[in-house]
Structure 1
Amino acid sequence: MWEDFLKPFRHGNNGSKILLTTRNENVASVFTPNNLHYRLNLLSKEDCWLLFLKHSSVSTNSKQYTTLEPIGRKIVEKCKGLPLAVKTLGGLLRNKYNEGAWENILECKIWELSEDDNMIVPALRVSYHYLPSYLKRCFIYCSLFPEDYEFDKDELILLWMAEDLLQSKENNALEKIGCQCFFAGKFYFKHKEFGHLHKIDNKTRHLSYATKYEDSIKLFRGAYNGAIAIHIRTFSDLTWLCYGQSIDIESDSWLLRQQFVCLRVMSFKHFSIESLPDSIGELIHLRYLNVSNTPIVTLSESLCKLYNLQTLKLRNCFKLEMLPSRMQDLVNLHYLDIRGAFCLKEMPKEMSKLKHLNFLSDYIVGKHEENGIRELGTLDNLHGSFCISNLENIKNSGEALKAKMGNKKHINTLTLNWLPKGNIDDFQNERDILDKLQPHENLKELSIEGYRGETFPDWLGLSCYSNLTKLNLYFCMNSCELPSLGQLPLYSIWRFLILPPLGLAALHLEQLYINKCPEIDCFDEKCLPQSLETLEIKQCQKLASWITSKGLQSQGRTRLILDQ
């Protein structure tokens, strides 16, 4: 492994250097067999004290210094010259001038747990010991994940929400917590870490496993009993080995039986399951449900009884045919991810009632008023990326206007998708529909796919979309011209009276992709933004021929990619 690690470094430029630091002398001997390494001494007592003062923010001129100095020096002495321990405890006592708080740290029994004179772990344990209780619970929750697990911040926050671990006033601080934890005891059980299922007892509240799928299923079938099930709050799989293994949740009632009255987090991602039983509606405390990457076909209507549900993940459920009809009953739903659920034909009715939705990956426009485009009108709290598909089901611009896309200020990536359906005669109606779907000015990326109009509405070129950096036009079969990418505001026109024209683009567009737009045959080079870095044109025969005849090529900062 060491030899493989070194291979890329042997081809660096002359003069390149690699600095490796370690607290383990064996590592140093492997890296430099001839003992050509530098041994750093521990910090002196006085340097430790100065470092401690810096991190504790205690001024030597303060009136408390005389009282706190002797206690602080004893604390520093326990750190035995290790700067990480000194910094940790100094930060723990930052801006605390109470003599009792310092003495509590000094007399803490955790110091007695040191091994091989290593004071790092005890120092960190002390800092954990004095965390506020709500932060301790969030921190401990991380112990469910394997060692060296790379946390996804947003995912972890969703899980904390589901477990009711977050306090609204401390959300910003909690988002920064992403550490491993080794102090959870019997309340958290990670199968890979402990290995023996007899360690699960009636104190276990949160359970995860990252082992072979078939082993875990077989073992957990035998491990569950009423005493465990009645208290368990988290059941989460962390394995990627589930495909090819089938499980019948209906018959394996140990997974969803009535005793799981306290369950708040349930994850079956990657399981080979095709349905969830009606009994899932009895898990009334469930707040997080993840069945992503499964071949699930249907979701039980009883799912809509889970009025506490906050997160529902159905990503890449490629066989899922429909969502439960009464999704509007999930009034506490914050997060719904249906990306990759390509078999879904439309949304359930009255999605407008889900006013707490913070993330909705896709909205599939239905043919009826109760699941049409107008249902988006009240969902102004949506964040991040958002895709609206089946826009061909919108009958007129009046319906499109009711979506109130301009009010959704937190969406930064938007995809507008039409499914091509036969010939169309009323090109103006199509243009008007797209015109009324005008998004908010904060948009950063926009994709228009399957648009059936001949021309694009004026808003696509307004200078107020200065944050737009990426535009993708895909399968716009009838469009015969590009949108005007960057109309100048009126107050800027006077500049052209005294300054040479620098192009008419006011947008900051960096990437423009044009794919399968066969009727576009040319464009005005002056109307392309000067900020453009990538212009990619694929399967646009007329446009490609025109570019070739003009002898256009990559110029300045713009890279032209042409694929006929």
Structure 2
Amino acid sequence: MSIPASMSLSAVGVVGAVNECVTLFQWAKSAIPSLYSRWSGSQEQILQDHVLQLESGLQRLRDTLPAIYDLVNKAEWRSHEPVVAKLLPNLKDAVAEAEDLLDEFGWYEKKVQVEGNASQSSFIDFFHTVVQGSFNKLNDVQLRLNHLSNMGLRGVTRCFDKLVRPETTSLPNETKIFGRDKELKQLLGFLNVPTISKRKRATKTSSINASASNHVSNESRALDLPVLPIVGIGGVGKTTLAQHICSHQQVKSHFELIIWICVSDDFDVKRLTKEVIQSCTGNEATSDNLDSLQRALSNHVNNKRLLIVLDDTWDDALKENGQCWKRFCAPFRSALDGSTMLVTTRCPNVSQGVRTMEPIIVEGLKDDIFWNFFKLCAFGSEGSNSDPELEHIGKCILPKLKGSPLAAKTLGRMLSMDLQASHWNSIRESELWELKQEETDILPALRLSYMYLPFYLKQCFAFCAVYPKDYKFDKTLLVEIWAAEGLVDPQGGIPIQDIGYQYFEDLVTRSFFQKISSRYVIHDLLHDMAQMVSKQDCCILRNKSDLDKVPQNVRHLYVLPSSEFDDSSLLRLCKYTKLRTIICKKDLKKKAGFVMSKWCTKLPRMRVISCVSTDELPDNIGNWKHLQYIEIVKARPLKKIPSTFCWLYHLQILYAKNCRLESLPDGFSKLISLGKFESVGLTYYDGRRMCLGHTNKCREFTLLKNLNRFRGHLQLIDVRVLSKDHAAEADLKNKKYLHGLKLDMGKPEDHAIYYHGLYIPNNDIEVVEVLQPPLSLKSLVLKYYDSISLPSWFQPKNLTSLKSLTFECCFQLGSISPPASLEKLVIKDCPNLVSIGGAKAVAKIKTVEISMCPKLKEAEQINKISRLRDWRHRREIAKLIGK
């Protein structure tokens, strides 16, 4: 299904959630007669009407939400206006209410799938709670969305606000440039500008222009105009650097024409061509025909050495698969060799798409130089005559600004308004995003980068504001949480995690994340910007006083491990009933279960919960119908997982990596959305693999009993430590979705039994006998199996779907009879194997690999058949089989 440009991917996910409820309403309509058989026909009809009204109400919500998402996206472009700034949080809140309502219907849909007609209580719960309870809620949500969407935002369009980013010119705003000597020298070298004399010029160090040289011939044309990007985040000084290049005396002498174009977000070839012509001639181009304009431009730049600067270039330059950019550049081929184009951009993908030489990366100013610049901004002078106390406070503020010249100007202006220590300290103690800023200050400037993201990437990045500064992100974990929050939407059969990875990489290419070793961080100023755009949704609690600053409609909370927090302070979170996320780094120890129990009662919309440790999950955890992600960080036995845990039909991920589970509740297989589950001795990735073992304890194997819905490949390690009874509890035969099974018995010497110095073989066959796999099994690996014969279930009638079979290091095994369905057979290091049923038995197997089986007389013959596996060698294979 194609997605309209105006429709966010999140809207597609919500619409899908509504469509999934079709089964729910079919079930509800059919359940009414059987449930209310004693009622009169009119009473039954009233209930049927209620169900129909509810169904049609959800349909209307499905029709409304895509437009509302688009409206939220557009409203953000005008959020600097006071009226819109006040309206936007309410609009987002109404959308979140709708999402929560739809998510609740999705939970009932899954409940029906799991329980079907088995439980009359599920009927009663649905009719009393949903039909009679949610109908009014649905109407309220719909009315609120309609009301907010009619408050003057319908005509809003995405546009580049000149108040936020005024048009630039080639004339520097600053008379002096700080700390850019290295970059200026690089640029002069790339431009081949003579810095000493006309006979001695700097060498162009990096260009794909084949005709580049130290001297420019008056007869040489530029086959392709060299393009040098200047790249950096907003406010770092890219434009200032380009302006000083254009004003450099040697540059002005070297180039016949210097053209400055402020591109912004509208890369319109016709408009830009007209502006270049006007810059060349001083006269406005009157033609509206692109061909005429480009021919005129080609004539104007013909045989001239020119420098053209495209300032503030965005992704729009790469539209039409780069054809738009090539069209714009075409007229400049008539310019002289030595001509160059500078492109300033905050988008690395733009730099990658247009460059012909390595970009110049502009980063924050170095500490000493930055301090001098900051003093100029705050005190009006670089001198050291300022107040020592203010200087001390200024040096404490400086690290917040990360070397950004625009950030220094922003804070410098605020500080210079009042040269009192109290004023400076109030700014020092504030978060940068909390300070009121002008439209041309640092955070509004950085906010433009956010505004140009697709809506679904905006949501993902804004969510990251819940994490503290300098947080080191693990890509996999963050993507999983995005998915749990509903920020990553399905696209056909593509795994949702792969879609989330693509989201993440898109943000990396736009410089919203920076890679540090194997983790990722967000630049401090971008983090401040993220907090600014999500201040109503995300909150970080550093100490008790922060509890008083939490917005009432907050949805995501991060609790730092402050010593000030205790169970009573964290119980105060119960009043924020719209919370979806709590990441709590404070270890409440024995109080953790009590606090979580209160949260389960008061915070019904939770989707993500991460806590340091708990030894039990509360009995009322089933209240969290929306819950999709649970993480318990520290090592502690998780003694109790209540039966109500099995009501979490939305749950996708359970991380208890350092916890030892004693058992799983009987209904654990009802968790039909569970895709990932990790604890000590168990890793479970549904659809891929599950691994159990690496421990001498048997209890992990009992966890398999209630994992019958697992689909994928199961690996059992150290199977030999199991008793027959423990192995039987795994109940493999009833795991009908199991595709692959690896039974690693453990090295015989690790579990060897000796009697009077003689080795007694392990009786593996008894354990493996009760580990019979389902008929659906497609792949089987048996390793370190230490018995002469195979279990009784190893027969063709029990392995009808088996395609791949591997025996490895089965030292006692004497013979094998491969199933007829087999396509691949691998046998390694089975020294006592004497027969696999003859060459005729394996002739139809596509791939056969046999090694280190000295007693297997058929091995050479079978391997030769495998090498000859080709229609051209049918006769030779037939002869070998005949032998």
Instruction: Normalising by structure 2, report the TM-score.
Output: 0.36
Give the alignment of 1:392-403 within 5 angstroms: 395-396=768-769, 399-400=772-773, 402=775
How far apart are 1:375 and its partner, in Å?
3.5
Q: Which residue matches 1:161?
A: 483
Corresponding letter in the other structure for 1:406: S
Q: Which has the higher helix share?
A: 2
How far apart are 1:416 and its partner, in Å?
6.5
Whole-Å Cα distance in 1 between the matches of residues 472 and 184 of structure 2? 32
Deviation string 1:192-217 (CA, Å, 9 cap, x unpaired) is 499823221212101123434x4444
Whole-Å Cα distance in 2 between the matches of residues 72 and 167 of structure 1? 43
Deviation string 1:443-467 (CA, Å, 9 cap, x unpaired) is 9xx9979x785469799xx99699x
Corresponding letter in the other structure for 2:478: L
Q: Which residue matches 1:305?
A: 647
Check the 8 A contact 1:305/1:330 in 2, yes or no: yes
Whole-Å Cα distance in 1 between the matches of residues 544 and 312 of structure 2? 28
Give the alignment of 1:313-462 within 5 angstroms: 313-318=655-660, 320-340=661-681, 343-347=699-703, 349=705, 351-354=707-710, 371-380=730-739, 395-396=768-769, 399-400=772-773, 402=775, 404-406=777-779, 427-429=788-790, 453-454=812-813
Whole-Å Cα distance in 2 between the matches of residues 456 and 352 of structure 1? 32
Check the 8 A contact 2:649/2:673 in 1, yes or no: yes
How far apart are 1:83 and its partner, in Å?
9.1
Give the alignment of 1:216-231 within 5 angstroms: 216-218=565-567, 220-221=569-570, 223-226=572-575, 228=576, 230-231=577-578
Which of 251, 265, 270 in structure 1 is aligned with 2:594? 251
* 2:558 matches 1:208: yes
Larger relative contact order (C-alpha < 8 A, sep ≥ 6)? Answer: 2
Q: Which residue matches 1:503?
A: none
Check the 8 A contact 1:326/1:349 in 2, yes or no: no
In structure 1, stretches of 5+ residues that fail to align are 1-24, 30-34, 59-63, 75-80, 98-112, 408-413, 419-423, 496-564
Instruction: Normalising by structure 1, report the TM-score.
Output: 0.54
Deviation string 1:8-64 (CA, Å, 9 cap, x unpaired) is xxxxxxxxxxxxxxxxx99979xxxxx9997556236799979979x99x6xxxxx5
Q: 1:173 to 1:275 in 2, by over 3 A?
A: closer
Corresponding letter in the other structure for 1:429: L
Q: Secondary structure at the match of 2:558?
A: strand
Corresponding letter in the other structure for 1:346: T
Check the 8 A contact 2:701/2:729 in 1, yes or no: no
* 2:840 matches 1:490: no
Whole-Å Cα distance in 1 between the matches of residues 626 and 277 of structure 2? 50
* 2:449 matches 1:127: yes
Q: Secondary structure at the match of 2:591?
A: coil
Check the 8 A contact 1:337/1:360 in 2, yes or no: no
Check the 8 A contact 1:387/1:415 in 2, yes or no: yes
Check the 8 A contact 1:235/1:265 in 2, yes or no: yes
Which of 480, 501, 504 in structure 2 is aligned with 1:175? 501
Whole-Å Cα distance in 2 between the matches of residues 440 and 26 of structure 1? 70
* 2:67 matches 1:67: no
Q: Which residue matches 1:152?
A: 474
Q: Percent identity?
A: 18
Q: Which residue matches 1:13?
A: none
How far apart are 1:330 and its partner, in Å?
1.0
The higher radius of gyration belongs to 2
Q: Which residue matches 1:197?
A: 547
Check the 8 A contact 2:262/2:311 in 1, yes or no: no
Q: 1:119 to 1:374 in 2, by over 3 A?
A: farther
Check the 8 A contact 2:460/2:482 in 1, yes or no: yes
Whole-Å Cα distance in 2 between the matches of residues 84 and 455 of structure 1? 77
Check the 8 A contact 2:484/2:608 in 1, yes or no: yes
Q: 1:304 to 1:36 in 2, by over 3 A?
A: closer
Corresponding letter in the other structure for 1:396: E
How many residues are treated as equivalent by the alignment?
398
